Structures are given as structure tokens and as C-alpha cells.
Chain A
Amino acid sequence: MGYECVVCVKQVPDTTRVTGESMKADGTVNRAALPTIFNPEDLHALEAALRVRDQHGGHVTVITMGPGAAAEVLRECLYRGADRVILLTDRRAAASDTLATSYILSRAIRKLGPIDLVFCGRQAIDGDTAQVGPQLAEKLELPQVTYFEQFTDMIDRTVRIRRNVGNGWEILQARLPLLVTVLDSANQPRPPAAKKVMQYKRAHTMEELRRQLAETQPSLSEEQCEQELGRQVEQLQQRGLIINQWNLDDIQADLQWCGLSGSPTKVHRIQAIVLTKEGFTEIPPTEAGIRQMIGELIKDHTLG
């Protein structure tokens, strides 16, 4: 028994540290000016999957789609106990919107073979669309439960899920396989485990190894380089320290659905909104004063 779980995670710019240099003149994100982090809600998705595996057995496979540097979030997954991680990276996938991204992810997940559960974070803090999870479910032809908080029951192929509906929660029953999008109220993600960190800090993708080699031994010829790389890969492979890297060919993706050509979303305009403080309102500490304040807040849709 046990469940085959897949978790989709994303490396995102840390939008909580936005500064004046975070946006380029053309309105796109200046990724170099922002530190990258593990998308917060994806950590909760990973935790939900790890708990299923810890309690019921099975495996947790993590997929991320992104540039080579996204291998860092995969190491973070290994530190927390993921069984297998895959970096989905390809220049031809650049500029993918949510539709293209969900298509590419669906191809990768199909390549994995039969699965029981797909976990996504509800949304990423860079785009805030919350679209990839639901679109991915459609492409995989899986039922979906959004705003997942916990499994209240898991009996064989039937699960009961508590989902947050904003002002309360409901419990749904569903059959596996299934996709869920996970909220940050679902759990408290586990910190990395010390021994796994000491072990998997050495886990790298081929691309990372190649770059390291170029930096540490720039005098090597191309042939020597490939030889040395082969030696390193063999050594790391034996110890399970090679992070799998797939491109669009590996997952047999139809290129017209990927990257720019697969992305119907067009950015119409980007506006930098600077919130400025304009004076203040004094609320008298009386019943009437409070009543008036609440009235105003409802009127400008801050409340309700």
C-alpha cells in the first residue's frame, strides 16, 4: 500500500523584499535585484505530501520548472525528506504563462507513470494567479480540490478532505487520483533535517556540475572537461546525488503549446503603484465613532 505523491514547487523572487530596483524600466521583474525563495505555499504542499507518505507509505516526487538555479528549491525538498526530485528546464519553455506551464507540468507528470496525488501550493507570490494547479488538474484529467487544509480520512482509494471556504470549511469526499492546492493554514512545514542537509548539499544537476568545473578548472580542454564531468557524475550517481534534469524533448512536449507560442496571456500594462500616506483620520473612542469607521471601511470595500 502507500500513495505515489507528486508535488509541484516553484522558485520565486522574494516579493516581501521588494525595493525600488525590483522592477525594470519596461515594467518586468528585475530578478537580479530580488533574492529567490521557495514559494511559501509550496512548502505547505510539500509538507502535506510528506505527511501522507510518513503515515501511509509511498513516495514523494517533487517537480519544479524553472531556470538552472531552481535546483536550489529541489535541494530544499531533499533536506526535508523528498524521495525524488526533477528539474524541468528548457530555454524553449521561457516566457510560459500559466496555460503553457500547466501543459508542460502535465507532460512531466504523465512521464512519471501512475500517480495517486498531486499537490500544488495554492498560488505563487510572484504572479498570484492561483491558476496553475486547477489548469494542471484539467490537463491531467484529474478531479481537483482547491484550498486544501487536511485529509480527515484516507481509506484505500477514498479520501476525505477539509477545505477552507473563507468563512469556514467543508469536508469533501473524493476518489484517487486527485489534485489538491494547499493553503498555508494547512500545516506547519518541517524544517530541514540535519543529516539530509549534510548529505544532499552535494546533490547537483549536470548543469551545475558543468558550471562549477568551468569555474574551478578553467584551463581544462572541452574533452578533458567532459571526461572529468563523467567521472564526477558517476561518483555522485552512486550516492544518489544527481538531480534529474528533464527538457521538453524528454517529456515529449508539443512545442507549440510551450513558451511564448503556447502562452495566450498578453500583459496589457504594468503600473507601479506607490502608496502614499495622506494625513490621518481621528476616530473618537465612542460607540458612534467606531460605528462610523466600520461604515466607511465597508463602503470602500476594505471590509466585507
Chain B
Amino acid sequence: MANYFSDNEDLQFLFNHLDLAKVATVQEDNFHPSNSPTAILYAPTDAADAIDNYRRVLEITGQVAGEHIAPRAETVDLKGHHLNSDGTVTLSDAVRDNLQVLAQTDLMGFTLPRRYGGLNCPNVIYTMAVEMISRADGSLMNLFGLQGIAETINAFASPEIKRDYLPRFSRGEVTGAMVLTEPDAGSDLQAVSLRAWQDNDGTWRLNGVKRFITNGCGDILLTLARSEPDIKDGRGLSLFLAERGPRIKVRHLEEKLGIHGSPTCELVYDDAPAKLIGERQLGLISYVMSLMNGARVGVAAQAVGIAEAAFRVARQYAHSRKQFGKAIEHLPAVAEMLVDMKINLEAARALLYETCIVCDLENNNLRVLEEQNTTLSEEEKKRRKNEARGWKRLNGMLTPMSKYYCSEMSIRLTSDAIQVLGGSGYMTDYPVERYYRDARITSIYEGTSQLQIVAAVRGVCSGAFEKRVEEYEQHPFSEAPIQKLHQTLVEGKRLVIEAIEFVKGRGGTYMDLYGRKLVDSALVVLIGHLLLRQAETNERKKQVARRFIETGWPTLQRDIALIRSGDTSPLEQLTTLAGPPPGVN
């Protein structure tokens, strides 16, 4: 009877540690009577009631993940989906069973408002659910974790579209896809060329090809298309809702390294009818950016979930496997690996859920501003706008940081898990090789690590980092060992700020060249503070924080020294140092 929530001490700890009452209060509009249990039978009455609901939903998710999804994960990995001759896809039985149990337990409308049949859970709770589902089966996140599509419809589409489509998402009748990438538009989405035009009735029609589309065989396709042929950049793009039909065909299913349960499709649109979401021209610059931010948090949670699964196998194996007359966990090299794996996993989780809370505060302020535009006083509007702007700025840094840090951690950790198991880990007898294959995508899709750094480093250099850390530094600590660690972080921040000044003096290209090191240094400080807060209430977490900060400190110093070296040889001496391209024989 595995339950992936109740067996996970760190998730339980965070559930109690995070300020969920604050999140619940904004999420539930201060428990306004129109949302009360007398109006909607499953609505909460107050913050304690809402938090009790969150805990229960996570217990259900944990049960579904542990008892239903995890036992099928190996089958999902081995059995692909089937592309039919009519351009439709038949999902494998195991994946369909997974979707059915998720629908039956009401988990497919996790964050949607209750009026559309959703659970109205905040992002932080949804992200915990995504983590648990990903621990059970990394690839299922791509179906379960696509609820951002419904959220995007909820945030930007017309009331008619919301009314027609959102209840179907909540009931789990439909799944969606975000259809962005094209053969010549990957990281650079401004180059999207799939054409949107209006026929004589005024119906929008989509024509062109999309590639690498996760769950492109889903029912509801949010499609980025060029509605303004004369505008060549991102401002010529709009977002459309197209429903699966005979004019949209899957031409090809990709063969991939991992996440086999997630069908990756090449789609052909043959003047397929579609509905415009929101306003023209805002497709990429507003809606997709918002959608992508949510999806990035989802991928970060997927990475953490897969890492959790891999760590557990490695930890168990190191305890039971004997070599040289003792369990290998007692070999210094293995012990160090296990400790680093676990600490990095908890560090990633600390960052991820802090990011989620900030997302919730930003999104809810924006939602209230929109929903109660006519009733709020001017003063209140101004206050909320300011607040939302502050959270958005912070989020603009934290979201790419989380995506980058969690995915890189997961790839390293799953690789180390194979290492701990040695030859056995390389074989398919143990699931760690699957975890590694599944984790590998997380630093690539929804924006590569390199692109996350470009976004994050701008937050680091534009004051968001400094402001946040200064808020953390205000927190008083009473215990001497924690105070000492805190001092290390204060010194770390000073070094990072100096490095930022140095980088700013050298211009944007230099900033991008040293972006990774700058972001890594800032992360030591940020995560260090988060772990110190956790250490206040938990003895074990004190040791976790100590190990993280004391091992992070020399790395920070090294990275700062490199940033301040002024070396730009990778740019100037590319051909000399990397050698000329070998050419193709």
C-alpha cells in the first residue's frame, strides 16, 4: 500500500513548513460567501479547512501514484503508442488506465475554478502532485502536468470558450497539447510560420506543420500561429484553440531516449478550423509566455519527482549491497555520493516550492484584479497592481532558476544513481536506467537550461536577487551555529553583488558567457537562506543546511573568481580552442 505523499518525509515537512494559510486565503478570495460550502458543496469554509482539503487531495494523489501508476511504469516504458493510418494515435492500455484513474479521482481539474468543476487548488499543491506522479512515472507528467493548457484557457479565453471546454478538462474527458514548436522554430518561437487565416464566414483556419509536440494526439490543441503575415516577429503570432478532427493529422510519432509514455507527435494542419484565444497578436508575447512559465515549474517538479524515485533505489541498494565485506554505503566514495544526492534533492525542492508560492501570489493578485475590476476601489487596485508587479519580477527570476536547477540536479542524480548500482544500474533489471533516460529531457524541453540562464541572469542582475536576499537577511536567527551560516550567506551575497557589477561593466555578451556561473552563485545564497529557514524548526534540516552552505561556499568563491577573470576566449578563440568543425564524411 504505497502512498507517495505519506512516505515522503520531505514533502510532509514542506507541507507543514510553507505558509499555506496565506496562499489558501488569496486562492479562496478570503473565503467569500459566494464560494462557501452552502453554494458549492466541496468548497472550504476557512484556511484550516482548505489546508485539510489540500492534505487529503495529496494523500489521494499519493495513493494513485503509489498503487496505480508506479506498478505500470515499466510497461508504459516498454510499450509505445500506435499511430493509425488515419492520422490518429491509440495510446497504450497502461497509459489509458492511468488517465482513467486520474479522471475518476477528480485530479484532472486540479487548479481550475470550482464553477468549471475544478478543485481550485493553488499551484504549490498542484506542483506537489506533479512531483508525486512523476516519481511514479516520469512520462505521465506530460499528460497529468498539461493542466496549464486549461489554465491558459481559463486565464485568457472568452467566457463561451471557457464554458464549453473547461468542464471537459475537469472531468478528464479531454487532454490538451501546447502546439508551439516547428521544424524551424524551436527555442526561437518568433520564427513560427504555421498560417492562420479567416475564411468567408470569419472562421479561423490553420495550415502548416508542427513538430515535437508532446501529446499532439490530444483533443484540445492550443496552437501558436501567424495571423498577421506581414509582421515577421513575435507580434505577428496569435494563439488558437483547435479541436482534434479530420483536418489535423499526426504524421509521425517520434522515437525517443526516454519518457516513452508521452507521445511526441508531428502534426499536419490542413486548413483546420480553430478559435482565437483572447486577442490577436498577443499569442506569443503574452499568453505563451504565461503558459510556458507554468510549464517550466511543472518540468522542475517532474525532474524532482524522477530524482526522488532514483534516490530511493540508490539508497536502498547501497544499504543492502555488500562488497569488501560490508555494505557499500560505508565506502567513503559512495557515502559522499548519497549525501550529496539527498542534499541537492532537498535543495531543489526548497527552491521549487518557494517559486510555487510566489507564482500563486502573483497569479491570484492578477486574477482578483481582472475578476473584480469593477468593484475594487482605485486604491486597492493600485495596491494589488504593485504587489502583482513585485511578485512577477521575482517570479521572472525564480521560475527559470527552478527549471534550470531542478532539471540539472535530476540528470546528475539519476546518473549517480546508476553509478551507485554499478553494473546492475546499467542493466534494465533496475529502474534507474529508465529514470536517467526520463530525466534527460528535463533540461531541454520548455526552454533549455541555457535559455533559463539567460532569463534568470537578467533577474539576478536587475535587482530582484538583491531585494529578495535582503528580505531573507532581515530574518533573525537565535542559535549560534545558524547565525554563523547566515553570516557566510551575507558574505556570499556581497561577492555576488560585486560580480554583478563587474559583469555589467562588460556588457550583455559577457553576461551571457558567465550567466551560468553567476546564476549558480546566486543560487547558493538563495537556497542557503531557504534551508536555514527550514533548519529553524527541524534538527536534521540544520545539518542539511550546514552541509549545503559549507560545500556551496568554495564553489561560489571559485565561480566568482572565474566571472571576474575577464576571459572571453570561448567567443574569440572558438575555432582555435574547439577546433574546426570535423565535417561530415
Residues of A that sit less than 8 Å from B by CB: 188, 190-199, 201-202, 239
Contacts and interface: CB of A to CB of B under 8 A. Distances in A.
A193 B63 CA distance: 11
Interface in B52-71: 52-53, 56-57, 60, 63-64, 67-68
A191 B42 contact: no
Contact of A198 (B53, B64, B104, B107): B53
B56 A198 contact: yes
B428 to A, nearest CB: 26
Contact of A193 (B38, B53, B104): B104
27 contacts: A188-B67, A190-B101, A190-B105, A191-B63, A191-B64, A191-B68, A191-B101, A191-B105, A192-B60, A193-B60, A193-B104, A193-B105, A193-B106, A194-B56, A194-B57, A194-B106, A195-B42, A195-B106, A195-B119, A196-B42, A196-B106, A197-B53, A197-B56, A198-B44, A198-B57, A198-B119, A239-B38
A198 B45 CA distance: 11
Given A197-B56, A197-B60, A192 B105 contact: yes
Given A190-B104, A194-B119, A198-B119, 5 more contacts: A188-B67, A190-B105, A191-B60, A193-B106, A198-B53
Contacts of B101: 190-191
Given A192-B105, A194-B60, A199 B41 contact: yes
Contacts of B119: 194-195, 198
B37 interface: yes
Given A188-B68, A195-B106, A201 B56 contact: yes
Contacts of B68: 188, 191
From DSSP, what is the main secondary structure of chain A's interface residues? loop
B56 A239 contact: no
A198 B104 CA distance: 15
B106 A239 contact: no
Contacts of B107: 194
A191 B56 contact: no
Contacts of A201: 52, 56
Query: What 4 pairs across the A-B complex have the smallest Cβ distances?
Result: A198-B42, A194-B106, A199-B42, A199-B41
Interface string B87-130: 00000000000000100111100000000000100000000000
A194 B37 contact: no
Interface of B: 37-38, 41-44, 52-53, 56-57, 60, 63-64, 67-68, 101, 104-107, 119
A194 B38 CA distance: 18
Contacts of A239: 37-38, 41
B105 A194 contact: yes
A194 B43 CA distance: 12
A239 B104 CA distance: 22
A192 B61 CA distance: 10
Contacts of A188: 67-68
A194 B120 CA distance: 11
B558 to A, nearest CB: 48
Looking at B38, B63, B67, B104, the one whose CB has the most chain A CB atoms below 10 A away is: B104
Looking at A190, A196, A197, the one whose CB has the most chain B CB atoms below 10 A away is: A197
Nearest to A198: B42
A86 B410 CA distance: 50
Contacts of B57: 194, 197-198
B45 to A, nearest CB: 9
A198 B59 CA distance: 12
Contacts of B60: 191-194, 197
Contacts of B63: 191
B522 to A, nearest CB: 38
A202 B68 CA distance: 27
Contacts of A194: 56-57, 60, 105-107, 119
Nearest to B106: A194
A191 B67 contact: yes
Contacts of A192: 60, 105
Nearest to B170: A195
Contacts of B43: 198
A199 B117 CA distance: 13
A277 B104 CA distance: 46
A243 to B, nearest CB: 15
B53 to A, nearest CB: 5
Contacts of B104: 190, 193
Contacts of A195: 42, 106, 119
Contacts of B56: 194, 197-198, 201
A162 to B, nearest CB: 20
Contacts of A191: 60, 63-64, 67-68, 101, 105
Nearest to A238: B38
A222 B105 CA distance: 42
Contacts of A197: 53, 56-57, 60
A192 B43 CA distance: 17
A189 B56 CA distance: 18
Nearest to B67: A191
Contacts of B64: 191
Contacts of A190: 101, 104-105
A118 B43 CA distance: 34
A106 to B, nearest CB: 33
Contacts of A202: 37
A239 B57 CA distance: 21
A192 B37 CA distance: 20
A194 B63 CA distance: 12
